[in-house]
Amino acid sequence: MGCKRDNIAQAVALISAIPGVNIKNISSLYETEPWGKTDQDKFLNQVIEIETSLPPKELLRELQNIEIKMGRQRQEKWGPRLIDLDILLYGNEVLDDPQLIIPHPHMRERLFVLVPLAEIGADLRFPDNGATVREVLSSVLAREGNRGIERI
C-alpha cells in the first residue's frame, strides 16, 4: 500500500538503525503478482542480508516494532499492507516456535522470496535439508514457471 518503494527504503533505513544490526547486502526490487490473496495490487519485494548480534526472537520483535512504527495494521491474512518484514534464514539455525519458524515456512514456494534471495545468496544452504537457494529456485521455476516476477 502507499508508495511501495518509499516504504521499503524507510524499512531498510530503520533496520540499519537497529543496534546490533549491520546490513551486508541488498537485492534489487522485484514486482510480483500477489500471493495468497490475489485480488490486490502487485507486490514489491526485496531481500536484505544482515549480520546481527541479536537472537532471532529479539530480531523479530525489532522488525515487528518497525512494522508498527510505519503504520502496519494486521487486519486480513495476506491482505494489503504497508510493509511486511520476515526473517527468512538465520545462519544455520532451525527454529520451530509458535512465534517464529526458521527457515521461513513458505519461502520455498514463493518466487518473490526466492528470486531476490538467489540474487544475493544463490549458494546459501537451507539448514534443515542442505539444499541451496539456487536448487530450490530451479525446482520451483521448473514446476511453476516465472509467474510474473519482474526485476525493476
Instruction: Check 5, 41, 86, 151 and give the catalytic one.
Output: 86
| Cell reading at 40 | 490486490
List of residues 6+ apart from 60 with CB closer than 8 A: 87, 99, 100
Other CB atoms within 10 A of residue 130 CB: 8
Residue 72 bears catalytic tag:
yes
Residue 143 bears catalytic tag:
no
Residue 74 bears catalytic tag:
no
DSSP strand pairing (101-102 vs 95-96): antiparallel
Torsion-angle region of residue 78: left (phi > 0), alpha (psi -120 to 50) or beta?
left
The three-class DSSP label of residue 101 is: strand
Residue 84 bears catalytic tag:
yes
What amino acid positions are annotated as catalytic residues? 72, 81, 84, 86
